[in-house]
Homo-oligomer: A and B are copies of this chain.
Amino acid sequence: MQEKIIDIEELLEKKRYAELKKYLKDLNSADIPPLLDELSEEQVILLFRLLSKEDAAEVFTELDSDIQEKLINSFSDKEIKDVLDELYMDDTVDLIEEMPSNVVKRILKHISKDERAIINKLLQYPDDSAGSIMTTEFIDLKENMTVEDALEKIKKIGVDSETVYTCYVLSMTRKIIGVITLKEILLAKLDEKISNIMDKNVITVQTLDDQEDVAKMFDKYNEYALPVVDNEERLVGIITIDDAMYIMKEENEEDFEKMSAVIPTEEAYLKTPVYKHIGHRIGWLLILMLSATLTGTVLAHYEAAFAVLPLLVSFIPTVMGTGGNSGSQTSTIVIRALATEEITVKDWLKVLWKEIRVGFLVGSAIMVVNAIRIYFLYHDVKLCLVLGLTLLFTIVVSKSIGCLLPIITKKMKLDPAVVAAPLLTTIVDLCSIIIYFQFATAMLGI
């Protein structure tokens, strides 16, 4: 990439624009946006004018919104219109959502009244709903068409459709009555009726369905596009598999952030200002800090014990750490299994039983290793027993909490990734401290 930037800068400097135009044409349009990131504002504006119409639109949708804004501000009316004409409706809507109002006004000036009506409607769908990510450019066929008619129609409107590979057969009232792929059309006889070869079993999603559920349906049904219908079952848009892939990626990143007590964001790390990073992290840190003081209070309650035997304190990190780690192993597995629908809330007893057995066996092994370690260090059988039993119980308890907490939050219609993962450590810490000092005070007689 560094080489390409040097090439481009050289050509720009020497004003060899014809050569530069050819150079850009030979690049894949997906490789251009990262290059623009490295250039100055003036260079970007200049370079953008050298792109072919199709490349320009493709590159434009991939740029960060601040660069998009600068570009639009530098555009002539004709140039704005050229870019907008090449954009699909969902990309136009994304653009409008991110631009400040003066830029939006300029954009809307170049959009026809009909299209403005569609955009307005798309803007009203809630964030993260199927309606908000669908595009309205699709191919609709009628059931009495022949394969020849269908091919004719695809050739006519295909150039403006996001995909031509899945076509929907609509009734007079625009309800979906069938779906057919271009492959099926192409492999059929020209005089075959569409109604004879279409698949009447159509998988649809609703405009208000959550985008994550939509992405999962792509994975389940192996479709390349899914139709979006309104509450009267009329086709209003389509979502394509590349959108689904993008959503899956975004939702996954969100889950990673949620599970480490960070408020998720779509912004790139390096471009997010410090104050925003703080905003995403401080809330949970405060909550977790304050809840950890509860464990501290419980610990203070056993002051007498470690005043008599200060050595007890030195095992706190092992006990708390082992509890935390074994709990988070389980909670992560269970949270993901719930997210991918590998298990449901109803399976709670099966999961709990499995985790108790795993916890008991893992705990027994850990108990033995630790007992040996402690015996060699302190030659104290009672201490071996206290620590061993503590670890065994802590592991069983933390694995049980680790599987029940996500299932309970799911049952309460909360997001297990948000609630269960960060809170788990605090709860498990508290339990392990109680287990530890109960065994210690009981067995060591202090």
Which A residues are within 8 Å of any B CB, using their own CB? 26-28, 30, 151, 154-155, 158-159, 164-165, 182-183, 186-187, 201, 203, 218-222, 224, 241-242, 244-246, 248-249, 252-253, 255-257, 259-262, 268-270, 274-275, 277-278, 281-282, 284-286, 288-290, 292-293, 295-297, 299-300, 303, 306-307, 310-311, 313-318, 320-322, 324-326, 328-329, 331-334, 336-337, 340, 342-343, 347, 350-351, 354, 357-358, 361-362, 365-366, 369-370, 373, 391, 395, 422, 425-426, 429, 433
Q: CA A430 – CA B290 in complex, angstroms?
A: 21
B296 touches A316 (CB 8 A): yes
Residue of B at shortest CB range from A249? B219
Q: Which chain B residues border A256 with CB–CB below 8 Å?
A: 255-256, 259, 332, 336
Q: How distant is A260 from chain B, measured CB to nearest CB, in Å?
A: 4
Residues of B within 8 A of A242 (CB): 218, 222, 224, 241
Q: Which residue of B lies closest to A183 (CB)?
A: B164
CB neighbours (8 Å) of A275 from chain B are 361
Which B residues are CB-close (under 8 A) to A426? 321
CA distance A342 to B186 in the complex (A): 41
Cα A264 to Cα B277 with chains together (Å): 30
Enumerate 13 A-B pairs (CB-CB under 8 Å) in ascending A order.
Answer: A27-B201, A30-B220, A165-B183, A165-B224, A182-B186, A224-B224, A241-B245, A253-B340, A269-B351, A277-B354, A282-B366, A292-B317, A295-B317
Per the bound structure, the CA–CA distance linking A337 and B255 in Å amounts to 14
Query: A278 contacts which chain B residues (CB < 8 A)?
Result: 358, 361-362
Q: How many copies does the complex hold?
A: 2
Question: Contacts A257-B332, A337-B269; is A362 near B282 (CB within 8 Å)?
Answer: yes
A217 (CB) vs chain B CBs: closest residue: B30
Residue of A164, A329, A334 with most partner-chain B CB within 10 A = A329
The answer to whether A261 and B329 touch across the interface, beta carbons within 8 angstroms, is yes
Q: How far is the CB of A225 from chain B (nearest CB, A)?
A: 11
A123 CB to closest chain B CB, in angstroms? 24
Which B residue's beta carbon lies closest to that of A288? Answer: B325
Q: How far is the CA of A260 from the CA of B256 in the complex (A)?
A: 11
Are B333 and A269 in touch, CB under 8 angstroms? Answer: yes
B residues in contact with A255, CB < 8 Å: 256
- Taking the closest CB of chain B, its distance from the CB of A237, in whole angstroms, is 19
Q: Please name the residue on chain B nearest to A332 by beta carbon.
A: B260
Please pick, from B28, B320, B333, B342, the residue contacting A262 in the complex, using a CB distance under 8 A. Answer: B333
A332 touches B248 (CB 8 A): no
Beyond known contacts A182-B182, A281-B329, A282-B365: 13 more, CB 8 A cutoff: A164-B186, A182-B186, A219-B245, A222-B242, A269-B351, A270-B343, A282-B366, A289-B369, A296-B315, A297-B314, A303-B310, A313-B316, A320-B320
A347 interface neighbour in B158, B201, B270, Cβ under 8 Å: B270
Output the nearest chain B residue to A268 by Cβ-Cβ distance: B342
* In the bound complex, CA of A159 to CA of B268 (Å): 43
Inside 8 A of A289's CB, which chain B residues have their CB?
318, 321-322, 325, 366, 369-370, 391
B-side contacts of A362, CB under 8 Å: 278, 281-282, 285
The answer for the CA separation of A358 and B347 in the assembled complex, in Å, is 41
Q: Which of B30, B218, B245, B328 meets A260, CB within 8 Å?
A: B328
What's the minimum C-beta distance from A147 to chain B, rounded to whole angstroms? 12
Partner of A261, one of B300, B325, B369: B325
**What CA separation (Å) do A154 and B311 show in the bound complex?**
78
The answer to whether A317 touches B296 (Cβ under 8 A) is yes
B285 touches A325 (CB 8 A): yes
